[in-house]
Structure 1
Amino acid sequence: MLTINSIKNGIVIDHIKPGHGIKIYKYLKLDEADFPTALIMNAVSRKNVEKDIIKIENVMDLNLAVLGFLDPNITINIIKDEKIKEKIQLKLPEEVENVIECKNPRCVTSVEKYVPHKFKLVDAEAGEYKCEYCDEIYKINTL
């Protein structure tokens, strides 16, 4: 069995969908970090379900909206003195900006490159977002 020691002060990103940990790891640019990090893939949880986990031995700013968009089932644990000080349960954000790119060639974002790509959540259960400018619908599992 693989053993990863606990961290003293930092962040644990838990309950990541199996296989998606690497996407979040790269989004956070942890592959370029100069502090200890761990990416654990396909770990078995107490519920006997596989998950990915990221451990970061450092305090850093996280964009919770983007992380919630990437995987709404994530739990963020803030660790201080080897104990969980705060637990944050993520969900799909109501709005995302410059996370999804509108693919509609008639959208203003296709012509005017300075216009930010803004999407609003229209159906949380289906994971559907709508472009604020052209009403194009995107599902998060198809991106």
Structure 2
Amino acid sequence: MLTINSIKNGIVIDHIKAGFGMKIYKYLELDKVDYSVALIMNAESRKLGKKDIIKIENNLEMDFDVLGFIDPNITIDIIKDESIYKKIKLKLPRRVENIIECKNPRCVTSVEKNIPHIFNLVDEKTGEYRCEYCDQIYENISL
């Protein structure tokens, strides 16, 4: 079994659905940082079978709504002095802005510039969102 040492201070993004770790890694632009980052893919998990984990040896600001949208089962562990200081359980955000784009060619967001793409959660079980302007449905495929 692979062993990754603990981090002194930073963030552990855990319980990522297998295969979605790289998506989060790219979204957070972790390939451009100069501090230690570990991306563990397809790690064994009793709860999920397989999971991805990202360990970041640095404290950084991140949008938890985006991470919750990508995978609502993620947990965030804030690490201080090699111990879990705070644990955050994510969920699907009620509203997302400029995370996804409306695909309706007649939507005002497709015609006008500088209008934010706003979607509201309609069904938490299916991850269905609707465009605030035209009611176009977006189904979250990560669920």
TM-score by length of 1: 0.96
1:54 aligned residue: 54
Determine helix, strand or coil for the equivalent of 1:141.
coil
Q: Counterpart of 2:139?
A: 139
> Which amino acid in structure 2 is aligned with residue 10 of structure 1?
G
- Matches of 2:48 and 2:125, distance apart in 1: 24
Tell me whether 1:125 sits opposite 2:125 in the alignment: yes
Question: Residue 92 of structure 2 corresponds to which residue in structure 1?
Answer: 92
Structure 2 residue identity aligned to 1:120: N
CA shift for structure 1 position 62:
1.1
> RMSD in angstroms over aligned alpha carbons?
1.1
Matches of 1:109 and 1:47, distance apart in 2: 40
Q: CA deviation at 1:48?
A: 6.9
**Separation in structure 2 between the aligned mates of residue 137 and residue 83 of structure 1, nearest angstrom:** 42
Contact 2:17 2:48 in 1 (8 A): no
Map of 1:20 onto structure 2: 20
Provide the C-alpha distance between the structure 1 equivalents of 2:33 and 2:44, rounded to a whole number of angstroms. Answer: 26
3-state DSSP of counterpart to 2:109: helix
Deviations 1:67-123 (A, max 9, x none): 000000000000000000000000000000000100100000001121000000000
Q: Relative to structure 1, is the Cα distance of residues 48 and 95 closer, same or farther in structure 2, using a 3 angstrom cutoff?
A: closer
Give the Cα–Cα distance (whole angstroms) in 2 for the partners of residues 87 and 46 of structure 1: 19
Quote the Cα distance in structure 2 between the aligned partners of 1:100 and 1:113: 15
Runs of 4+ in 1 over 4 A off after TM superposition: none
TM-score (norm 2): 0.96
Aligned residue pairs total 142
Distance across 1 between alignment mates of 2:19 and 2:137: 26
User: Separation in 2 of the partners of 1:69 and 1:45?
Assistant: 21
CA offset at residue 45 of structure 1? 2.2
Percent identity between the aligned chains?
70
Do residues 83 (structure 1) and 90 (structure 2) align? no
Equivalent-residue separation in structure 2 for 1:125 and 1:46 (angstroms): 22
